[in-house]
Amino acid sequence: MRFYQQQHPFYCGVDLHARSMYLCVLDHEGTTLLHQNYAADPGAFLAAIAPFRDGLVVAVECMFAWYWLADLCEAHGIPFVLGHALYMKAIHQGKSKNDRLDAAKIAGLLKGGLLPQGYVYPKARRATRDLLRRRSFLVRRRADLLAHLVNTNSQYNLPPLNKKLVYPGNRAELDLAARFTEPSARKLVECDLALIDALDGQIHDLELHLVRTAKVDDAQAYARLQSIPGVGKILGLVLLYEIHDIGRFPAAGNFLSYARLVRPQLESGGKPLGFGNKKIGNAHLRWALGEAACLYLRCSDRAKRWQARTAAKHGPAKTLGILAAKLGRTVYHLLRKREVFDENRFLAS
């Protein structure tokens, strides 16, 4: 957890919503100078903070609408701090809650140096990262529709589908008229197939755009990531855009923690209390590194032998976690040192 601890003459806490925002401005002594609700409008925000512009820092809790406020502060040279939503909830959750109290608490945490920071993803690549996440959403919806097709076939106790419907050629050979005699059931399957075909086209177009954009943004880092066996164009894209700047992690351990590849232990009075919240971190990175571990085992005989030795000691499930953490550490050093993957060094450690 990183706290924002720089000192400023004025501290502005913003409880931001889609159409409104509550501002609370404190001075360095903790005196409230402004405490008022405004429309979520750039002009209204700039007019409200105008008397405190010199030496002002702005903080907002991480929620879906923070993009425009971060870009506005950057354009006008105002320091902007993004509060980590999960950590802030643990710190300032109280009996009473409203916009006025939340804005004051954010400003107070900011002034006291206790505001946990989130990463303000730069504007230049933010839309591309969001587009990549949208592609993942569409892939999951396609998987749901494919599963529904198989379940519908089982519902009517029909012969099993011998070919995988994820491939368009196999879908074309599916004889709906002969398989589904009930008109409504046949219409249901036709609807699913139409949606799957439409998603196929959208996913293909998105992947072409994302690969071209990655080669413009950072072709060398993208190529280094794909030098890892099992990391193809999609996993390379996820790693590239979810990490963005490897320099923001001072050590490999910080990166592994961000990627949800560590088990945070809780302790009090010298007694272990279990493990902390493993959901704090980047879920997309955790998925990508887990997938990379499985694919690496599939395509490397040396990795399979390593897995057999490690599984005898730790078990199969923990072995996959160990391998994902090893790959995460490798990704960190590849990007940090600007090297390509070396399997001899990877398996020797």
Report the DSSP beta bridge partners of residue 13. Answer: 24, 59
The one-letter code for the residue type at 45 is F
Angle at 45 between CA 78 and CA 111, to 5 degrees: 55
The two tokens of residue 117 are 């920071």
Whether the pLDDT of residue 276 is over 80: the answer is: no
The one-letter code for the residue type at 336 is R
CA 289 – CA 257 distance, rounded (Å): 13
What pLDDT, in 10s, does the model give residues 166-177? 888 888 767 777
Q: Are strands 115-116 and 32-39 parallel, antiparallel or unpaired?
A: unpaired
CA 36 – CA 24 distance, rounded (Å): 7
pLDDT value, residue 90: 66
pLDDT value, residue 169: 83
Output the CA–CA distances (angstroms, integers) from residue 182 to 177, 187, 188, 324, in the order listed.
Answer: 9, 9, 10, 48
Dihedral pair phi/psi, residue 269, rounded to 5°: 65, 30
Burial status of residue 174 (CB atoms within 10 A of its CB: 0-12, 13-18, 19 or more): middle
Dihedral pair phi/psi, residue 17, rounded to 5°: -130, 180
Query: Please, which pLDDT band fits residue 132 given cuts at 50, 70 and 90?
Result: very high
What pLDDT, in 10s, does the model give residues 210-239? 999 999 999 999 999 999 999 999 999 999
Q: What is the pTM of this model?
A: 0.89
Rounded average pLDDT over 279-308:
93
Return mean pLDDT, the chain: 92
Q: Collapsing DSSP states into helix, strand and coil, what is residue 59?
A: strand
Whether the pLDDT of residue 307 is over 70: the answer is: yes
CA 160 – CA 164 distance, rounded (Å): 11
In contact, 134 and 88? CB cutoff 8 Å: no
Identify which of 215, 245, 214, 247 has the alpha carbon closest to the alpha carbon of residue 131: 214
pLDDT value, residue 128: 97
Task: List the chain domain ranges.
Answer: 3-116, 125-218, 233-348
Rounded average pLDDT over 175-200:
89
Whether the pLDDT of residue 251 is over 70: the answer is: yes
What pLDDT, in 10s, does the model give residues 73-89? 999 999 999 999 888 87
Query: Please, which pLDDT band fits residue 349 given cuts at 50, 70 and 90?
Result: low
CATH topology for 3-116? Nucleotidyltransferase; domain 5 (3.30.420)
What pLDDT, in 10s, does the model give residues 32-59? 999 999 999 999 999 999 999 999 999 9
Query: Please, which pLDDT band fits residue 1 given cuts at 50, 70 and 90?
Result: confident
54-76 exposure pattern, b = at least 16 Cβ within 10 A, e = fewer: eebbbbbbbeeebeebbbbbeee
Rounded average pLDDT over 99-112:
93
Query: Please, which pLDDT band fits residue 163 given cuts at 50, 70 and 90?
Result: confident
Q: Are strands 265-268 and 115-116 parallel, antiparallel or unpaired?
A: unpaired
Identify which of 238, 212, 207 has the alpha carbon closest to the alpha carbon of residue 225: 238
In contact, 285 and 243? CB cutoff 8 Å: yes
